[in-house]
Structure 1
Amino acid sequence: MTMLLQFGRLCDLLENVQLSSDPDVLSWHLTESGNYSAASAYGAMFLGSSPVRGAAQLWKTAAPPRVRFFYWLALQDRCWTGERRHRHGLQPTDACITYDQEPEIIDHILLGCAYSREVWATWMDWLHLPNVDVRPQPFMEWWLSNRKRVDKHFRRGFDSIVFLIGWMLWKQRNARTFDGSTRTARELAVDIRLVTEDWRMAGYRQPGILLSGR
C-alpha cells in the first residue's frame, strides 16, 4: 500500500514534466548570469551572519599579517590575557601585570592601563593630534571613532600607527609577564618609533608618511 502511494505521488510530480532533446544545462542560482563563481560561493558562507564592526577596516590596514591577525583575535576577545589565563587556571590572579589594580583584559592592555595611556599620549603629542581622545574604553571602538578625527590624507598612516603601538604594547606585556623584562613608557614609545623604520623597509610606508607629515 505504501509503495502504491509513493508511486502515485511520483506520477503526480512527473505529470507536467516536458521532455526535451536539448542538452541539460547547469545553472548557479547565486549569480545573475547563472554561472558559478568562487566569490559567490564564498559569499554564500556568510548568508545570515552579522558583520563584525571594524573587520573591514582592520584587514585593509597597512600592517604585517601577524599584526592584523593579532587585532582580529583582539576583536574576538581571543587573546590570552591575564584574565583569560586566570579563568583557565593558568595563573593565580587576573590582575594587570603592570600596576596590579584592574583585571588584565585586552582593552585594558591596549588602552585602559595608565602605562598604555602614557605611551599613547606621547605618540599623539609627537603626531600633533590633540583631538585624539586617549581614555579607557573598548579599544576597537576607540580606534574607529578617533580615526574619523584625522585628516583623510593621513588616515591610513594613523591606522598603521595605531596597530603598531597596540602590537608593541602587547609584546611589552608578554615580555613583562613571561621574561620579567620591563621598559618605561617613554622607552617603549622610542622603541616604537624605531620599529616604524623596519616597517618602512618591509613596504609599510604609512607610519613614516604620517610622522613626516606631522
Structure 2
Amino acid sequence: MASMLLPLYARTPALVSHCTNPSITVAEALCDRRLGLPLQPRLTVTAQGQMEALVSSLQHATLSSDPDVRLLPGGAAFSTVAAYRIMCTSGVALPLSDFNLENFAPLKVRVFFWIARHGNTRTRALLHRHGCLPSPRCPFCDADEDLAHLFARCVWLEPLFALVEAPAAGAAHDLEGVCAALSAPLQELAPPVRHTLVLLILWVVWKSRNRKVFDDVWLRARHLAKLLSEHCELWLHRLPRRLSRQPVESWLARLRTSVL
C-alpha cells in the first residue's frame, strides 16, 4: 500500500532513466488510452518490466478536460493555509515551517529562507562540491563555509549576535538551532513578528556575506545595525493591522542604542 502512494517517477526509476523528456505531461503521454512515452530505443529488463506494469495500471485511466479538483483530507478545498493547519495539528510539520509561513517579510526573503531550510543555499562549500569554486573557504576566515558556518559559527557574526542579544546563536550547529537562539530574546513578541525579525537577521547575514564576496567590504557592527534598521523600517509597512508596531519599534530602539 505504501508503494502505491509514491509518485510515478519514484515507483519507476529505471523507466524514468530511459525517458528522453522527463517533463512530459500526463496528457501528452496518455493519448486515446495509449501510453506514448519518449524513451530510448533499448530498455533494460528492469525498465521493460516497469513499463509493462505502468501500462497495465493505466489501461482503464480516462483523462478529462475539466480542471483539476484538489481536496484536502475531509473533502475541504485545498489552500496553503488549510494545508499548513493540518500539518501543525497532525504533528508532522517540517522544521522551521512556522518561520517560513507566519511572517510579513518580503517574498524574496521567504524564498531565501525556504532555500536555506532545505539546505540549498549556495555556500562556498556547496559550490566547491559542485566544481564551481576552487576552494570552499569562507570569505571571512579559514574555515569551510557550509550552512552552519555561514549563519552561525563564523567569527564575523559575533558582533551581529551581540547586537541582537543572541550570543548563543554562535554555538548553533544547524539553521534550526540558529533560529531558536535568535528567537530566545524575542519570546514576548507575537509569532509573526518574532519570525520576521529572525528572517531579517538572517537576511542581513546573507547580504553582508555577499558584500564581502563581491565587493570585498567587511561590514562592522555599526554598519550591520544600520542595515538591520533600514530593512526593518521598510518591512514595518508590511505589518498586518492586527499586530502592534510598538514591540518592533522598541526592538529597533534597543538596537540603535547598543551601538551608540
Name the CA distance, whole Å, in 1 between partners of 2:187 and 2:105: 20
Name the CA distance, whole Å, in 1 between partners of 2:164 and 2:181: 18
Partner-residue secondary structure (3-state), 1:173? helix
Q: 1:174 to 1:134 in 2, by over 3 A?
A: same
For structure 1, which segment, 147-156 or 182-191, has the greater mean C-alpha deviation from structure 2 after superposition?
Answer: 147-156
- Point out the structure with max Rg over C-alpha: 1
2:142 aligned with 1:107: no
Name the CA distance, whole Å, in 1 between partners of 2:186 and 2:206: 24
Aligned-pair identity in percent equals: 21
- Deviations 1:153-193, CA, capped at 9 Å, x for gaps: 45543332221121011011112212333322332222212
Which residue in 1 is equivalent to 2:10?
Answer: none
Name the CA distance, whole Å, in 2 between partners of 1:103 and 1:213: 33
Q: Which runs of 5+ in 2 are unaligned?
A: 1-70, 256-260
Q: 1:195 to 1:148 in 2, by over 3 A?
A: closer
> Which amino acid in the other structure matches residue 163 of structure 1?
L
Structural mapping, 1:35-54, within 5 Å: 37-39=77-79, 51-54=93-96
Q: Which runs of 5+ in 1 are unaligned?
A: 1-27
Structural mapping, 1:111-130, within 5 Å: 111-124=152-165
Of 128, 131, 147, which aligns to 2:183?
147
2:170 aligned with 1:135: yes
2:249 aligned with 1:208: yes
Structural mapping, 1:45-84, within 5 Å: 51-84=93-126
Name the CA distance, whole Å, in 1 between partners of 2:168 and 2:199: 16
Which residue in 1 is equivalent to 2:203?
Answer: 167
> Which amino acid in the other structure matches residue 207 of structure 2?
K
Name the CA distance, whole Å, in 2 between partners of 1:118 and 1:84: 26
Q: TM-score, normalised by structure 1?
A: 0.66
Question: Does the 8 Å CA contact 2:125/2:144 hold for their aligned counterparts?
Answer: yes
Cα RMSD for the two superposed structures = 3.4
Name the CA distance, whole Å, in 2 between partners of 1:29 and 1:193: 41
> Which amino acid in the other structure matches residue 117 of structure 1?
E
Which residue in 2 is equivalent to 1:191?
Answer: 227
> Which amino acid in the other structure matches residue 75 of structure 1?
R
2:125 aligned with 1:90: no
